[in-house]
Structure 1
Amino acid sequence: MTSTTPTVDYAADWFDRFAHPIDDERTAREAAFVDSVVPAECRLLDCCCGTGRHAHALAERCHTVVGFDRSPVALTTARAGASDARFVRGDVRALPFPERSFDAAVCLWQSFGYFDAPTNRAVLAALARRLRPAGRLVLDVYHREFFEAHTGTRTFQIDGVGVTETKTMAGDRLSVRLEYDDDAPDDRFEWQLFAPDDLRTLADDVGLRTVDACSDFDEAESPTPETPRMQFVFEREC
């Protein structure tokens, strides 16, 4: 797929089904990892923040957090949170923030890669430009080599609803379809996925130096084809 149209279609209750079951301990561990690799008490952009679980957790760690997402449903939930995080609605391809206005940025939970390759590169470059010199960017993305070996169909239950998930790979693109047995609309997702070296090269092309790469939000665990997700820490070079 080469369109620059967002290749994702969330049903209205998608966040309730899939974000709600994530426990506070997991969110705290992920936020602790981010906190350990970004400047202390910094101005931080949570890009594609969803319902704000990371934004609130990072705000509670004394960062000044701006959450950014295109979903009004998700942002309604995010704004109901108790932290001082601020939330803005918009399109990641047109970030409404001045360049060099953040000390750090995060894009978590496989929220990078929704577009064609040139647009994904432009999105990463735009995020880099929003960072001040030596600012940090944390990406949490799927490992392409894992999903090349783990396609197919599976069924499972979530909150009493049966879900059929179908994953296919075509080149470097992963397509996911979720079908529900309660007559809710299907959800469809598509991303460009990266192997570690590919992501390092892309980041370097847009002025980001790779500081670290790991999996499971654990700096001691290197990304491997046996782990579905990987976290990269980048730093703006100038």
Structure 2
Amino acid sequence: MPTAPTVPVVGGGRFPVHRIYCVGRNYAAHAREMGFEPDREAPFFFLKPADAVVENGATIAYPRMTGNYHHEVELVVAIGGSARDVPVERASELVFGYAVGLDMTRRDLQLAARDKGRPWDTGKAFDFSAPCAAITRKEEAGNINAATMRLEVNGELRQQSPLSLLIWSIDEIIHWLSLYFDLMPGDLIYTGTPEGVGPVVSGDTLRGTIGGLEALEVKIGR
């Protein structure tokens, strides 16, 4: 029997993963680079399987069935309580902690599905598509909304943005998500990526950082 996926917690312990939710187009500049004008319509979500999680320091095989494999660095919110229909003003009570994550994407498959009005699963919800650094508890993370997120590939800066530029804030994301799903301890929410997404190839090293959190580093294998 396969073991349940977990993510380390800074300072000790493990965080069992229940579900992985992702928010689409939550930075204006990234929405534009993907061909859309950003707005404040209700956010949309997609899911990845819990066992798509990859721990810090891992080497990820270049995935099959793609020739356009992209990085998307994101703030990950770890949920520590259960609730539904959460008011925005109480959403922060559900947060256990935060981590740096990557929403790895088979961009060619995602765009082909999008253009045909089909689900994104083959482009987004594949094996090893959700690297995640150790989770820093909320009370130890500082003011996460004032932090800046960065991604370097082989030491070259690819993505950088203040988290304050989220179209939908962390609390608003939790509120909206709880209207569609019963949130549970162990849920991870990947909150969206800024502009600068692009391809990676075998041999590349990716390093994501958010001030106050453990840095995430993974390598692309063959």
TM-score of the superposed pair, with normalisation by structure 1:
0.27
TM-score of the superposed pair, with normalisation by structure 2:
0.28
Structure showing the higher helix proportion among its residues: 1
Between Structure 1 and Structure 2, whose CA radius of gyration is higher?
Answer: 1
